[in-house]
Amino acid sequence: MDVYTIGLAGGMLLIILGIYGLTVKGNMIRLILSVEILTNGAIVVLVTFGATPLGVINPVIISLAILAVGVGGCIAAVGLAIVIQAFRHYKTLNVRELKRLRW
Amino acid sequence: MFTLVVDVLIFFAIAVAVVGALTRYRANLNTAFGLASTIGFGLALYFWWNLYLEVQRAGGVLVLKALPVLASSSLRIDMLGMFFSLLFLLVGFTSSFHSMRYMEHDSGHAQYYALLLSMVAGMVGVVYAGDFFTLFFFWELMAITSYVLVAFRKHLWEPVEAGFKYLVMSAAGSALILLAIALLYGITGTTDLAGIASAIKAGTINAELKTWLYFAIAVIVTGFGIKASIVPLHTWLPDAHPAAPTPISAMLSGVVIKTGVYAIIRMLGLVIYPAALDWNMVAVVVAFFAALTMTVGNVMALLQEDVKRLLACSSIAHIGYIMLGVSIGLLGGTIGLYGYTAGLLHTMNHAIMKGLAFLAVGAFIHAAGTRKLSELVGIGHRMRAMAVIFVIAILALSGVPPMNGFVSELMLVLATLNAGMGIMVAVLLANILIGFGYYLRLLYIMVWQSPRSELETIRGTSWLMLIPCGILASLCILIGVYPEPFLDFASQAAQAVANLPAYTAIA
């Protein structure tokens, strides 16, 4: 197997895991983790495409990947801050019990 | 660095945040922060005009690089970007002006205005970006600040819950955008928007890559469609937009969802458009989702008892109208040009009239302290000046002739007829009629009926709220009675979408 196959398969696996977590899990912290896994899967795909057959790595792709890692951290920070506030209001982390908003 | 327009917004955001942090326990500078933010937006509008002249001199496309090397962050400013950035700055200016009075009972003004300025800086950066690095950076700047702004009143349960829902869905959308960037890089070997367009045009796309390109288009439309709230990805919008403070609702409903529309127009209409794909099929698929979006949005709006929620649902419907214009644009040729022009003009009109409707409703909510329609009965009698402005906004939204909504809705109907989409004309007209139903209900309850006794104590409206609303209301009428210059501007933006050679001329 070449590096593309491994990288793409791994990235797509992470993306599928993330989407699975988003749709199935009910815990708010697990939802934030699923978003992070989804983002990381996209980063893995990005870095895989950035690795050219000659071994030269495009610096733009690496900087974009590093930016995306930082952004993922920001999203986790903001998300966990909101989770703390939600816990103060509802005394639960189960997102299924946050049903005061209608569709 | 990123043109004066973005720089001045970022400068004011940092200045407000730093001064707010330094004077936190020493002085009450709430009015000063609001004033500083409004001045920042005013300055940004002035620099926007200078940049507009510069872009005109450069022949329609201006390329700026952060560093003078080949692979670096770049801005590629064309008329489409100038068109959208004007809307962002205009609604940002009026929202910031309106916030000075609306947010007077809240704390954390420094954070609020810093986040508002950063969000607009992010949106302007998105529409100016020339490569995916810059676009993704500014996109996340806009997205993360908007999560915090939705959950700004964290002592209430509703903003927190809506903010969480918004964050999870929108962050998943950001991850899909990153995946789309990765796929486009894998197909073409560059992250530069013009470079991708040139590489696709050069015809190196074989049958296998074509499949990947279709997959990339699906990921792009899903990723940006979450921000633009295309049905079935709209579920966060009716929660998040009403939960935010009302000036922020005006921003979110008026312009933030338009960044998603911008990105879809930019990607499908310009960057990937040279590929030899079956664009008629893509257009039909987009038109299908546009019809779904407008129908679901209108039907949801019919059922609402909360005035902000009703306006938020009607935003979904208007996104459907705009996406219909975009789908006609994807057909190409003069038909497509007319479709883009109609869609972009409706984008402008919707930003102005929905921003105005939210700001006017915000004045009512500020006075009455409630969002329920049943408790806002007849509030227009107590606040006559704001009621006039509210009537202008609602008539414009429902598309009554002397207002701006009529012009663009008529253009959309004509564009659909041009394109020969007979069914879509029927869907569009039916939706405009459904829209009439709930807009007139809103007018009947809030302005026509005699006021409730609880509202007797309310007298008049603050000038600080009337001035920004007056600006937008006069624009509503001006575009309605004299649409030529605005139509010309929208048409320039539409031509910028169709004009690929000019966009890729400068490497």
* Euclidean distance between CA atoms B150 and B162, whole angstroms: 7
B485 lies in a domain? yes
Q: Among A38, A49, A58, whose Cβ lies nearest the Cβ of B175? A: A38
Q: What string of pLDDT tens digits covers the 507 residues of chain B?
A: 678 899 999 999 999 999 999 988 877 888 899 999 999 999 999 999 999 999 999 888 888 887 666 666 888 999 999 999 999 999 999 999 999 999 888 888 999 999 999 999 999 999 999 889 999 999 999 999 999 999 999 898 889 999 999 999 999 999 999 999 999 988 888 888 988 888 888 766 677 788 888 999 999 999 999 999 998 899 899 999 999 999 999 999 999 999 999 999 999 988 888 888 889 999 999 999 999 999 999 999 998 889 999 999 999 999 999 999 999 999 988 999 999 999 999 999 999 999 999 999 999 999 988 888 888 888 888 888 999 999 999 999 998 888 899 999 999 999 999 888 889 999 999 999 999 889 999 899 988 888 888 777 877 788 889 999 999 999 999 999 999 999 999 999 999 998 888 888 876
A103 to chain B nearest CA, in Å? 7
Q: What is the pLDDT of residue A103?
A: 43
Residue B506: name the closest of B49, B146, B192 by CA.
Answer: B192
Is residue B375 within 8 A of residue B404, CB to CB? The reply is no
Give phi and psi for B65, each to the nearest 5: -115, 145
* Euclidean distance between CA atoms B458 and B364, whole angstroms: 10
| B178 Cβ neighbours under 8 A, 6+ residues apart | A39, A42, A43, A46, A68, B136
What's the alpha-carbon Rg for chain B, to the nearest Å? Answer: 22
Which residues of chain B are within 8 Å of residue A62 when distances are taken between CB atoms? none
* Structure tokens given for B25: 């326990």
Q: What is the pLDDT of residue B361?
A: 93
Determine the distance from the C-alpha atom of residue B116 to the mean position of all C-alpha atoms in its chain, rounded to a whole number.
Answer: 14
Beta carbons of B158 and A101 less than 8 Å apart: yes
Burial A10-33 (b: 16+ CB within 10 A, else e): ebeebbeebbebbeeeebbeebbb
Which residues of chain A are within 8 Å of residue B142 when distances are taken between CB atoms? none
Q: What DSSP line would sit under B51-82, residue for residue? A: HHHHHHHTTS-EEEESSSSSSS-EEEE-HHHH
Q: Among B157, B174, B182, whose Cβ lies nearest the Cβ of A49? A: B182
Determine the distance from the C-alpha atom of residue B148 to the mean position of all C-alpha atoms in its chain, rounded to a whole number.
Answer: 18
Residue with tokens 């302005």: B447
Interface of B with A in 126-145 (CB under 8 A): 131-133, 136-137, 140, 144
Q: Among B147, B178, B238, whose Cβ lies nearest the Cβ of A39? A: B178
Q: What is the pLDDT of residue B421?
A: 84
Higher pLDDT pick, B507 / A35: A35
Q: How many domains does chain B have?
A: 1
Burial of B305 (0-12, 13-18, 19+ CB in 10 A): exposed
Residue with tokens 């005699």: B450
Determine the distance from the C-alpha atom of residue A89 to the mean position of all C-alpha atoms in its chain, rounded to a whole number.
Answer: 26
Beta carbons of B168 and A71 less than 8 Å apart: no
User: Hey, is the C-beta of B409 within 8 angstroms of any chain A C-beta?
Assistant: no
Q: What is the pLDDT of residue A54?
A: 56
A62 to chain B nearest CA, in Å? 10
* Residue span of the structural domain in which B294 resides: 279-496
* Structure tokens given for B466: 């009337």
Q: Among B133, B157, B163, whose Cβ lies nearest the Cβ of A63? A: B133
* Euclidean distance between CA atoms B496 and B491, whole angstroms: 9
Residue type, A51: A
Cβ contacts from A onto B, under 8 A: 115
Q: What is the pLDDT of residue A49?
A: 85
- The CATH class given to the A3-97 domain equals mainly alpha
Q: What is the pLDDT of residue B71?
A: 62
Beta carbons of A46 and B171 less than 8 Å apart: no
A91 to chain B nearest CA, in Å? 12
B386 lies in a domain? yes
The 10 Å Cβ neighbour count of residue B492 is 18
Is residue B419 within 8 A of residue B461, CB to CB? The reply is no
C-alpha distance from residue A30 to each of A26, A33, B151, B455 (Å): 7, 5, 20, 46
Is residue B468 within 8 A of residue B359, CB to CB? The reply is yes
Which residues of chain A are within 8 Å of residue B137 when distances are taken between CB atoms? 67
Q: Among B132, B136, B144, whose Cβ lies nearest the Cβ of A75? A: B144
* Euclidean distance between CA atoms B423 and B42, whole angstroms: 44
* Euclidean distance between CA atoms B114 and B34, whole angstroms: 10
Give the residue from chain B lying closest to A102, CA to CA: B239
Q: What is the pLDDT of residue A33?
A: 94
Long-range CB contacts (< 8 A, 24+ apart) of A59-68? A59/B71, A60/B71, A60/B131, A60/B133, A60/B191, A61/B185, A61/B191, A63/B133, A64/B132, A64/B133, A64/B136, A64/B181, A64/B191, A67/B133, A67/B136, A67/B137, A68/A39, A68/A42, A68/A43, A68/B136, A68/B178
The 10 Å Cβ neighbour count of residue B484 is 8
B120 lies in a domain? no
C-alpha distance from residue B241 to each of B9, B244, B252, B351 (Å): 23, 6, 7, 14
User: Hey, is the C-beta of B148 within 8 angstroms of any chain A C-beta?
Assistant: yes
* Euclidean distance between CA atoms B39 and B165, whole angstroms: 33
Assess: ipTM above 0.90: yes
Q: Average pLDDT, whole number, for chain A? A: 86
| CA–CA–CA angle B45, B263, B277 (5° rounding) | 145
| B415 Cβ neighbours under 8 A, 6+ residues apart | B325, B328, B335, B338, B339, B341, B342, B343
* Euclidean distance between CA atoms B343 and B323, whole angstroms: 7
Element (DSSP H or E) covering residue B248: helix B246-251
Is residue B451 within 8 A of residue B382, CB to CB? The reply is yes
Provide the H-helix boundaries in B68-206.
79-102, 109-128, 132-150, 157-188, 193-201
Residue with tokens 């005394």: A91
B172 to chain A nearest CA, in Å? 6
Mutate to test the interface with A, among B115, B132, B139, B164 (most CBs of A within 10 A): B164
Burial of A82 (0-12, 13-18, 19+ CB in 10 A): buried
* Euclidean distance between CA atoms A90 and B164, whole angstroms: 13
Is residue B231 within 8 A of residue B63, CB to CB? The reply is no
